[in-house]
Amino acid sequence: MTDKLVLVTGGTGFIAQHCILALLNAGYRVRTTIRSPGREAEVRAHLKVGGVDAGDRLSFANADLTDDRGWAEAVAGCDYVMHGASPTPSGDQTREEDWIGPAVNGNLQVLRAARDAGVNRVVLTSAFGAIGVGHKPDHRRPFDETDWSDLNGNVAPYQKSKTLAERAAWDFVAREGNGLELAAVNPVAVYGPVLGADYSHSIRLIANMLEGQPGCINVSSCCVDVRDVADLHLRAMTDPAAKGERFLATVGESMWMVEIAELLRQRLGKVAEKVSTQVWPDEQVRIAGETNAQLKGVVPLLHYDMSATGRKAERLLGWTPRSREEAILSCAESLVRLGLRG
């Protein structure tokens, strides 16, 4: 056990809740931010699904990235901050600024509060979207932490927001951090066991497949288990070698969407009988993207090589992630177990 207190922002989020689990299991006390007090019971219930009854080792603070109020109280007394609260693809965003403003300003708001409270280090949950999109086909692969997404290329608003938000965080710490340390974790597509109905857009892909989504799109991505993403956050929080560094959270080679579908069908039997391995024609995806906001964001990624490497985290921090197959299958199995398919 330790008396150190860690703030995890966005406590209703998929990655955040697994970070809370990792911290509690490591003996830390945790405070987490939520926008609505009514969701405290939900967070505690999800943690119990993950095997932890948090009790008084978990506390809550009400804070919203779009509002200055509450952040000083949220970080008060904290030794570390894990900051992952950020807008994610929901279809509600109608303008580019709907993505970029909250992501950039939210990062700066948390960093200012952390600096003023004397926090030792902030671990920022960034994304592969800040590293590997917008590049030309001849750009070096696999992507690593020296890469930044090329905003002059064809970049969807979500990835643009993640890129600008992470850059703003590094710039702030360099100019105004006053000793505040920063590390960033950049996950690829995150799978692994879900804890409840509020999960990430990556997992929605698996849920939709299990419910019989009619076909696969010609996109690929690397993947990682959420438990390993949480473990990497913990290592980045405490290891001296992580100061001022970014870490890609990824394992194995990039997988095409149809390869994920085939894995589900091969390994899950009857549970995956609705999974389609038909591939949608690219032109059909482009036409649908004209009216569907989520598909519109996918169009720039058709046939795009998303290969990335997580060797830096393995080398510097001793990170040992699960296989991509375990990440995908444990995700699907948890969706079935909790009755959350589709």
- The DSSP code for 26 is T
* Cβ–Cβ under 8 Å, residues 218 and 282: yes
Residue 296 among the catalytic residues: no
Distance CA 322, CA 320 (A): 7
Tell me if residue 117 falls in helix, strand or coil: helix
Instruction: Indicate the length of the chain as a whole number.
Output: 342
* Cβ–Cβ under 8 Å, residues 161 and 99: yes
Among candidate residues 48, 162, 243, 296, the one labeled active-site is: 162
Distance CA 270, CA 109 (A): 48
- The DSSP code for 175 is H
Distance CA 337, CA 266 (A): 18
Query: Per 3-state DSSP, what percentage of the chain is helix, strand, and coil (rounded to 5)?
Result: 45, 15, 40
Annotated catalytic residues are 162
